Structure 1
Protein backbone atom coordinates (compact mmCIF):
# COMPACT_ATOMS: atom_id res chain seq x y z
CA UNK A 1 0.00 0.00 0.00
CA UNK A 2 1.57 3.25 -1.13
CA UNK A 3 0.95 5.92 1.48
CA UNK A 4 1.85 8.73 -0.93
CA UNK A 5 -0.11 7.20 -3.83
CA UNK A 6 -3.33 7.03 -1.80
CA UNK A 7 -3.38 10.77 -1.08
CA UNK A 8 -5.67 12.93 -3.23
CA UNK A 9 -3.97 15.61 -5.33
CA UNK A 10 -5.63 18.90 -4.48
CA UNK A 11 -6.32 21.10 -7.49
CA UNK A 12 -6.24 24.82 -6.59
CA UNK A 13 -8.12 27.62 -8.36
CA UNK A 14 -6.54 28.59 -11.68
CA UNK A 15 -5.09 25.13 -12.35
CA UNK A 16 -6.71 22.95 -15.00
CA UNK A 17 -6.06 19.22 -15.44
CA UNK A 18 -6.89 17.43 -18.70
CA UNK A 19 -6.91 13.62 -18.66
CA UNK A 20 -6.18 11.75 -21.90
CA UNK A 21 -5.61 8.05 -22.47
CA UNK A 22 -1.81 8.33 -22.31
CA UNK A 23 -1.16 11.78 -20.80
CA UNK A 24 -2.10 14.12 -18.00
CA UNK A 25 -1.86 17.79 -18.98
CA UNK A 26 -1.58 20.34 -16.18
CA UNK A 27 -2.20 23.99 -17.13
CA UNK A 28 -1.81 27.04 -14.94
CA UNK A 29 -0.73 30.66 -14.86
CA UNK A 30 2.99 29.74 -15.02
CA UNK A 31 2.82 27.29 -17.93
CA UNK A 32 1.78 23.84 -19.04
CA UNK A 33 3.26 20.42 -18.25
CA UNK A 34 2.40 17.15 -20.02
CA UNK A 35 3.16 13.92 -18.15
CA UNK A 36 2.96 10.54 -19.86
CA UNK A 37 1.21 7.96 -17.71
CA UNK A 38 1.56 4.17 -17.72
CA UNK A 39 -1.53 2.11 -18.55
CA UNK A 40 -1.28 0.32 -15.18
CA UNK A 41 -2.49 3.45 -13.38
CA UNK A 42 -5.91 5.08 -13.54
CA UNK A 43 -6.54 8.74 -12.75
CA UNK A 44 -9.97 9.72 -11.44
CA UNK A 45 -11.00 13.39 -11.40
CA UNK A 46 -13.13 14.32 -8.39
CA UNK A 47 -14.67 17.63 -7.30
CA UNK A 48 -11.93 18.28 -4.72
CA UNK A 49 -8.98 16.85 -6.61
CA UNK A 50 -7.45 13.97 -8.53
CA UNK A 51 -6.86 10.46 -7.22
CA UNK A 52 -4.56 7.74 -8.54
CA UNK A 53 -5.62 4.07 -8.55
CA UNK A 54 -3.59 1.08 -9.68
CA UNK A 55 -5.05 -1.71 -11.80
CA UNK A 56 -3.25 -4.60 -10.07
CA UNK A 57 -1.05 -5.43 -7.10
CA UNK A 58 2.15 -6.28 -8.98
CA UNK A 59 5.41 -5.06 -7.46
CA UNK A 60 6.18 -2.83 -10.47
CA UNK A 61 2.73 -1.21 -10.34
CA UNK A 62 3.03 -0.56 -6.61
CA UNK A 63 6.42 1.07 -7.12
CA UNK A 64 5.18 3.58 -9.73
CA UNK A 65 1.92 4.38 -7.92
CA UNK A 66 3.38 6.93 -5.49
CA UNK A 67 5.90 8.18 -8.06
CA UNK A 68 3.31 9.30 -10.62
CA UNK A 69 1.07 10.78 -7.94
CA UNK A 70 4.00 12.92 -6.76
CA UNK A 71 5.05 13.87 -10.32
CA UNK A 72 1.56 15.22 -11.01
CA UNK A 73 1.43 16.96 -7.63
CA UNK A 74 4.77 18.67 -8.41
CA UNK A 75 3.37 19.74 -11.80
CA UNK A 76 0.27 21.22 -10.12
CA UNK A 77 2.46 23.19 -7.69
CA UNK A 78 4.87 24.24 -10.47
CA UNK A 79 2.25 25.71 -12.82
CA UNK A 80 0.87 27.68 -9.88
CA UNK A 81 4.19 28.91 -8.42
CA UNK A 82 7.55 28.38 -10.14
CA UNK A 83 10.14 26.01 -8.67
CA UNK A 84 13.52 27.59 -8.00
CA UNK A 85 17.05 26.45 -7.33
CA UNK A 86 19.62 28.98 -6.09
CA UNK A 87 23.31 28.77 -6.93
CA UNK A 88 26.19 30.78 -5.53
CA UNK A 89 29.52 31.35 -7.20
CA UNK A 90 32.40 31.30 -4.69
CA UNK A 91 35.92 32.43 -5.53
CA UNK A 92 38.01 35.54 -6.10
CA UNK A 93 37.04 37.05 -9.44
CA UNK A 94 34.31 34.48 -10.08
CA UNK A 95 31.18 36.22 -11.43
CA UNK A 96 27.95 35.54 -13.27
CA UNK A 97 25.86 37.90 -15.40
CA UNK A 98 22.79 37.65 -17.60
CA UNK A 99 23.34 38.29 -21.33
CA UNK A 100 19.90 38.35 -23.01
CA UNK A 101 18.59 34.94 -21.86
CA UNK A 102 21.97 33.24 -21.38
CA UNK A 103 24.16 33.07 -18.29
CA UNK A 104 27.80 34.16 -18.68
CA UNK A 105 30.22 32.84 -16.06
CA UNK A 106 33.76 33.93 -15.31
CA UNK A 107 34.98 31.00 -13.26
CA UNK A 108 38.74 30.86 -13.55
CA UNK A 109 39.10 29.80 -17.16
CA UNK A 110 40.85 31.89 -19.82
CA UNK A 111 37.46 32.55 -21.45
CA UNK A 112 33.94 33.26 -20.19
CA UNK A 113 31.68 30.19 -20.02
CA UNK A 114 28.24 30.72 -21.61
CA UNK A 115 25.28 28.61 -20.48
CA UNK A 116 22.54 28.81 -23.14
CA UNK A 117 18.87 29.28 -22.31
CA UNK A 118 16.88 26.07 -21.90
CA UNK A 119 13.21 26.03 -23.05
CA UNK A 120 10.89 26.21 -20.03
CA UNK A 121 13.58 27.68 -17.75
CA UNK A 122 14.17 31.29 -16.69
CA UNK A 123 17.38 32.64 -15.20
CA UNK A 124 17.83 35.48 -12.72
CA UNK A 125 21.04 36.95 -11.36
CA UNK A 126 21.32 38.52 -7.91
CA UNK A 127 24.43 40.65 -7.50
CA UNK A 128 27.38 39.24 -9.40
CA UNK A 129 27.78 35.94 -7.58
CA UNK A 130 24.30 34.41 -7.30
CA UNK A 131 22.14 32.80 -9.97
CA UNK A 132 18.56 31.54 -9.71
CA UNK A 133 17.08 28.84 -11.96
CA UNK A 134 13.26 29.08 -12.26
CA UNK A 135 10.74 26.84 -13.99
CA UNK A 136 7.43 25.04 -13.65
CA UNK A 137 8.94 21.54 -14.12
CA UNK A 138 10.73 20.57 -10.89
CA UNK A 139 12.79 17.83 -12.53
CA UNK A 140 14.02 20.14 -15.31
CA UNK A 141 14.91 22.90 -12.82
CA UNK A 142 17.04 20.49 -10.79
CA UNK A 143 18.68 19.07 -13.90
CA UNK A 144 19.61 22.51 -15.30
CA UNK A 145 20.90 23.66 -11.90
CA UNK A 146 23.13 20.58 -11.74
CA UNK A 147 24.41 21.17 -15.29
CA UNK A 148 25.37 24.71 -14.24
CA UNK A 149 27.02 23.41 -11.06
CA UNK A 150 29.28 20.97 -12.94
CA UNK A 151 30.70 23.82 -15.04
CA UNK A 152 32.99 24.39 -12.04
CA UNK A 153 32.52 21.93 -9.17
CA UNK A 154 33.53 23.28 -5.74
CA UNK A 155 37.20 22.72 -4.90
CA UNK A 156 37.67 20.32 -1.97
CA UNK A 157 40.43 22.43 -0.37
CA UNK A 158 39.10 25.99 -0.65
CA UNK A 159 35.46 25.56 -1.71
CA UNK A 160 35.88 27.70 -4.84
CA UNK A 161 33.39 26.99 -7.61
CA UNK A 162 29.62 26.84 -8.17
CA UNK A 163 27.52 25.39 -5.37
CA UNK A 164 23.88 25.27 -4.30
CA UNK A 165 22.88 27.91 -1.79
CA UNK A 166 22.83 26.30 1.66
CA UNK A 167 24.95 23.34 0.55
CA UNK A 168 27.40 22.09 3.16
CA UNK A 169 30.82 21.30 1.71
CA UNK A 170 33.45 19.11 3.31
CA UNK A 171 36.71 21.01 3.11
CA UNK A 172 39.84 18.86 3.33
CA UNK A 173 42.73 20.05 5.48
CA UNK A 174 45.75 21.15 3.45
CA UNK A 175 49.37 20.03 3.78
CA UNK A 176 50.24 22.88 6.15
CA UNK A 177 47.51 21.88 8.60
CA UNK A 178 48.67 18.26 8.55
CA UNK A 179 52.32 19.28 9.00
CA UNK A 180 51.48 21.65 11.87
CA UNK A 181 49.48 18.91 13.59
CA UNK A 182 52.35 16.42 13.25
CA UNK A 183 54.94 18.92 14.54
CA UNK A 184 52.83 19.73 17.60
CA UNK A 185 52.58 16.04 18.53
Structure 2
Protein backbone atom coordinates (compact mmCIF):
# COMPACT_ATOMS: atom_id res chain seq x y z
CA UNK A 1 0.00 0.00 0.00
CA UNK A 2 1.05 3.57 -0.62
CA UNK A 3 2.34 5.13 2.57
CA UNK A 4 2.33 8.67 1.19
CA UNK A 5 -1.17 8.35 -0.29
CA UNK A 6 -2.66 7.22 3.02
CA UNK A 7 -1.45 10.30 4.90
CA UNK A 8 -3.99 13.12 5.19
CA UNK A 9 -3.11 16.59 3.87
CA UNK A 10 -3.29 19.28 6.55
CA UNK A 11 -5.36 22.32 5.52
CA UNK A 12 -4.15 25.63 7.04
CA UNK A 13 -6.68 28.25 8.16
CA UNK A 14 -5.85 30.59 5.24
CA UNK A 15 -6.62 27.95 2.58
CA UNK A 16 -10.03 27.22 1.06
CA UNK A 17 -10.60 23.94 -0.79
CA UNK A 18 -13.50 23.45 -3.21
CA UNK A 19 -14.22 19.95 -4.50
CA UNK A 20 -16.17 19.17 -7.63
CA UNK A 21 -16.69 15.69 -8.98
CA UNK A 22 -13.69 15.99 -11.32
CA UNK A 23 -11.71 18.97 -10.04
CA UNK A 24 -10.14 20.41 -6.91
CA UNK A 25 -9.65 24.16 -6.46
CA UNK A 26 -7.29 25.47 -3.77
CA UNK A 27 -7.45 29.19 -2.86
CA UNK A 28 -5.03 31.03 -0.60
CA UNK A 29 -3.36 34.38 -0.04
CA UNK A 30 -1.00 33.94 -3.04
CA UNK A 31 -3.70 32.91 -5.56
CA UNK A 32 -5.81 30.02 -6.82
CA UNK A 33 -4.89 26.67 -8.37
CA UNK A 34 -7.03 23.98 -10.02
CA UNK A 35 -6.24 20.34 -10.72
CA UNK A 36 -8.24 17.60 -12.38
CA UNK A 37 -8.90 14.50 -10.26
CA UNK A 38 -8.32 11.07 -11.80
CA UNK A 39 -11.52 9.05 -12.18
CA UNK A 40 -10.26 6.21 -9.95
CA UNK A 41 -9.74 8.55 -6.95
CA UNK A 42 -12.05 10.45 -4.62
CA UNK A 43 -11.27 13.28 -2.21
CA UNK A 44 -12.84 13.79 1.22
CA UNK A 45 -12.53 16.80 3.52
CA UNK A 46 -12.79 16.05 7.24
CA UNK A 47 -12.35 18.99 9.65
CA UNK A 48 -8.97 20.49 8.69
CA UNK A 49 -7.68 17.49 6.72
CA UNK A 50 -8.09 16.26 3.16
CA UNK A 51 -7.86 12.56 2.36
CA UNK A 52 -7.27 10.92 -1.02
CA UNK A 53 -9.23 7.66 -1.32
CA UNK A 54 -9.10 4.93 -3.99
CA UNK A 55 -12.25 3.56 -5.63
CA UNK A 56 -10.50 0.27 -6.41
CA UNK A 57 -7.27 -1.18 -5.04
CA UNK A 58 -4.66 -2.02 -7.67
CA UNK A 59 -1.04 -1.09 -8.36
CA UNK A 60 -1.79 1.79 -10.73
CA UNK A 61 -4.38 3.34 -8.44
CA UNK A 62 -2.05 3.17 -5.42
CA UNK A 63 0.60 5.06 -7.41
CA UNK A 64 -1.98 7.66 -8.48
CA UNK A 65 -3.13 8.06 -4.88
CA UNK A 66 0.38 8.96 -3.68
CA UNK A 67 1.01 11.25 -6.63
CA UNK A 68 -2.31 13.10 -6.21
CA UNK A 69 -1.68 13.55 -2.49
CA UNK A 70 1.77 15.04 -3.20
CA UNK A 71 0.37 17.35 -5.88
CA UNK A 72 -2.37 18.63 -3.55
CA UNK A 73 0.19 19.18 -0.79
CA UNK A 74 2.34 21.20 -3.23
CA UNK A 75 -0.71 23.21 -4.32
CA UNK A 76 -1.45 24.14 -0.71
CA UNK A 77 2.17 25.12 -0.09
CA UNK A 78 2.16 27.15 -3.32
CA UNK A 79 -0.92 29.24 -2.49
CA UNK A 80 0.30 29.92 1.07
CA UNK A 81 4.08 30.45 0.71
CA UNK A 82 4.93 30.10 -2.99
CA UNK A 83 7.99 28.49 -4.56
CA UNK A 84 11.34 30.03 -5.51
CA UNK A 85 14.16 28.73 -7.69
CA UNK A 86 17.44 30.67 -7.72
CA UNK A 87 19.98 30.74 -10.55
CA UNK A 88 23.36 32.40 -10.87
CA UNK A 89 25.37 33.38 -13.93
CA UNK A 90 29.15 32.91 -14.14
CA UNK A 91 31.13 34.39 -17.00
CA UNK A 92 32.67 37.61 -18.23
CA UNK A 93 30.00 39.91 -19.61
CA UNK A 94 27.08 37.69 -18.58
CA UNK A 95 24.13 39.72 -17.33
CA UNK A 96 20.36 39.59 -16.95
CA UNK A 97 17.78 42.36 -16.90
CA UNK A 98 14.01 42.66 -16.70
CA UNK A 99 12.13 43.78 -19.79
CA UNK A 100 8.51 44.10 -18.67
CA UNK A 101 7.18 40.60 -17.98
CA UNK A 102 10.18 38.86 -19.53
CA UNK A 103 13.86 38.48 -18.81
CA UNK A 104 16.72 39.49 -21.13
CA UNK A 105 19.85 37.33 -20.94
CA UNK A 106 23.23 38.39 -22.32
CA UNK A 107 25.33 35.22 -22.19
CA UNK A 108 27.98 35.50 -24.88
CA UNK A 109 25.84 35.03 -27.98
CA UNK A 110 25.73 37.61 -30.75
CA UNK A 111 22.17 38.45 -29.68
CA UNK A 112 20.30 38.72 -26.37
CA UNK A 113 17.95 35.89 -25.38
CA UNK A 114 14.45 36.77 -24.13
CA UNK A 115 12.39 34.44 -21.94
CA UNK A 116 8.75 35.32 -21.22
CA UNK A 117 7.13 34.61 -17.86
CA UNK A 118 4.20 32.20 -18.33
CA UNK A 119 1.20 32.18 -15.98
CA UNK A 120 1.83 33.80 -12.62
CA UNK A 121 5.62 33.47 -12.72
CA UNK A 122 7.67 36.46 -11.56
CA UNK A 123 11.35 37.21 -12.06
CA UNK A 124 13.72 39.07 -9.75
CA UNK A 125 17.25 40.12 -10.68
CA UNK A 126 19.95 40.86 -8.08
CA UNK A 127 23.44 42.17 -8.93
CA UNK A 128 22.68 41.66 -12.64
CA UNK A 129 23.74 38.00 -12.40
CA UNK A 130 21.45 36.37 -9.80
CA UNK A 131 17.98 35.38 -11.02
CA UNK A 132 15.02 34.37 -8.85
CA UNK A 133 12.03 32.61 -10.40
CA UNK A 134 8.93 32.84 -8.17
CA UNK A 135 5.42 31.44 -8.48
CA UNK A 136 2.69 29.30 -6.93
CA UNK A 137 2.98 26.28 -9.25
CA UNK A 138 5.98 24.13 -8.26
CA UNK A 139 6.18 22.39 -11.63
CA UNK A 140 5.98 25.63 -13.63
CA UNK A 141 8.65 27.35 -11.48
CA UNK A 142 11.03 24.42 -12.02
CA UNK A 143 10.24 24.28 -15.73
CA UNK A 144 10.96 28.00 -16.27
CA UNK A 145 14.18 27.77 -14.24
CA UNK A 146 15.30 24.78 -16.33
CA UNK A 147 14.52 26.70 -19.52
CA UNK A 148 16.65 29.64 -18.33
CA UNK A 149 19.50 27.27 -17.41
CA UNK A 150 19.35 25.59 -20.83
CA UNK A 151 20.13 28.90 -22.58
CA UNK A 152 23.78 28.50 -21.53
CA UNK A 153 24.42 25.38 -19.45
CA UNK A 154 27.55 25.42 -17.29
CA UNK A 155 30.56 23.97 -19.03
CA UNK A 156 33.06 21.82 -17.12
CA UNK A 157 36.36 23.50 -18.14
CA UNK A 158 35.96 27.10 -17.02
CA UNK A 159 32.63 26.76 -15.17
CA UNK A 160 30.98 29.48 -17.25
CA UNK A 161 27.22 29.42 -17.77
CA UNK A 162 23.92 29.59 -15.90
CA UNK A 163 23.58 27.26 -12.92
CA UNK A 164 21.25 26.71 -9.99
CA UNK A 165 22.42 28.43 -6.83
CA UNK A 166 24.48 25.95 -4.86
CA UNK A 167 24.86 23.54 -7.81
CA UNK A 168 28.24 21.87 -7.93
CA UNK A 169 29.78 21.63 -11.40
CA UNK A 170 32.43 18.95 -11.79
CA UNK A 171 35.43 20.66 -13.28
CA UNK A 172 37.67 18.94 -15.80
CA UNK A 173 41.33 19.49 -16.29
CA UNK A 174 42.24 21.13 -19.58
CA UNK A 175 44.74 19.92 -22.10
CA UNK A 176 48.30 19.62 -20.94
CA UNK A 177 51.13 20.61 -23.18
CA UNK A 178 52.89 17.43 -24.28
CA UNK A 179 56.17 19.12 -25.06
CA UNK A 180 58.57 16.28 -24.85
CA UNK A 181 61.87 16.68 -26.62
CA UNK A 182 63.22 13.71 -28.45
Is TM more than 0.5 here?
yes
Alignment partner, residue 85 of structure 2 = 85
Deviations 1:161-185 (A, max 9, x none): 1110011111111102xx58x98xx
The residue correspondences of 1:131-170 to structure 2 (distance < 5 A) are: 131-170=131-170
Distance 2:15 2:2 in 1: 25
* Aligned alpha-carbon RMSD (Å): 1.4
Question: Please, which runs of 5 or more residues in structure 2 have no aligned partner?
Answer: none
Higher helix share: 1
Normalised TM-score (structure 2)? 0.95
Alignment partner, residue 107 of structure 1 = 107
Q: Which runs of 4+ in 1 moved over 6 A?
A: none
The residue correspondences of 1:1-185 to structure 2 (distance < 5 A) are: 1-176=1-176, 179=177
Question: Please, which runs of 5 or more residues in structure 1 have no aligned partner?
Answer: none
Secondary structure at 1:87 match in 2: strand
Residue-pair matches, total? 180
Distance 2:120 2:108 in 1: 29
Normalised TM-score (structure 1)? 0.93
